[in-house]
């Protein structure tokens, strides 16, 4: 049992703190039947709308595509998991024995889902205005440092566009190796650019992440840069 108040707990409305609803939001399905999946569904919908609405106000001149990419970058699993870690959520999760022993309190998917469930719980325990305030406080730093439109493009897209501008072959990708248990896999993928005689390997916890990592390395090799220009 934790004794130190986490960042998340400090942000929660008083009506939710210590409640059965909050306990459910922080309970993974491996820990019992009263788990957080329904709350996750509700929180995901509320989060997407709140973030979309706030971005619409922050970037009045931004086209739809840029707003969509910004929202996706803010509400994807990676971003949610980082916010959950920043708020100390790992210590609050209720997990089954298997998930706990395998490090489930550190797993991106579990942290991200739990944060969405907490947002859903805030909505049920209070109202939309309170939920919006809660989400905006969670995202305060990220809204203050929004990336540029170009930086929003993922590494594979930016690499391909760079090659096309120079009339060079577009890259091909190949998964070389998948290791680990189904819930905790590790991927190795290669990025090949035939006309440039470049073949590099990236690694990550999913096929997408491994290919993105390879794209970053390929761009660095193409530009002879020690520091990747994107990532």
- Say whether 113 counts as a known binding-site residue: yes
Structure tokens that stand for 11 in this block: 């942000």
Q: How is 165-194 classified by DSSP, letter by letter?
A: HTT-PPPEEEEEEEES-TTS-EEEEEEEEG
Q: Catalytic residue numbers?
A: 44, 116
23 closest CA partner among 127, 129, 125: 125
> DSSP letters along 112-143, please?
HHHHHHHHHHHHHHS-HHHHHHHHHHHTHHHH
* Contact in structure between 68 and 142 (CB atoms under 8 Å): no
Q: Which residue has the tokens 């409640």?
A: 19
DSSP-derived letter for residue 94 is B
Q: Would you list which residues are annotated within the binding site for Mg(2+)? A: 40, 113, 116
């Amino acid at each position: 049992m934790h004794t130190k108040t986490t960042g998340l707990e400090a942000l929660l409305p008083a009506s939710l703190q210590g409640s059965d609803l909050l306990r459910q939001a922080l309970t993974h399905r491996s820990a019992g039947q009263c788990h957080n999946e329904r709350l996750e569904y509700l929180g995901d919908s509320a989060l997407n709308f709140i973030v979309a609405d706030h971005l619409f106000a922050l970037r009045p001149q931004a086209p739809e595509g840029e707003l969509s990419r910004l929202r996706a970058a803010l509400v994807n699993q990676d971003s949610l998991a980082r916010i959950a870690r920043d708020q100390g959520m790992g210590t609050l999760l209720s997990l089954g024995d298997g998930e706990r022993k395998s490090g489930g309190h550190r797993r991106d998917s579990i942290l991200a889902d739990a944060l969405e469930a907490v947002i859903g719980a805030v909505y049920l325990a209070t109202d939309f205005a309170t939920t919006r305030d809660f989400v905006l406080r969670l995202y305060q730093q990220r809204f203050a440092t929004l990336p540029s439109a170009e930086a929003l493009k993922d590494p594979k897209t930016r690499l391909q566009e760079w090659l096309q501008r120079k009339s060079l072959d577009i890259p091909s990708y190949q998964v070389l190796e998948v290791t680990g248990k189904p819930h905790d896999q590790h991927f190795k993928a290669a990025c090949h650019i035939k006309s440039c005689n470049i073949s590099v390997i990236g690694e990550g916890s999913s096929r997408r992440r491994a290919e993105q990592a390879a794209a970053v390395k390929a761009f660095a090799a193409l530009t002879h840069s020690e520091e990747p220009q994107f990532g």
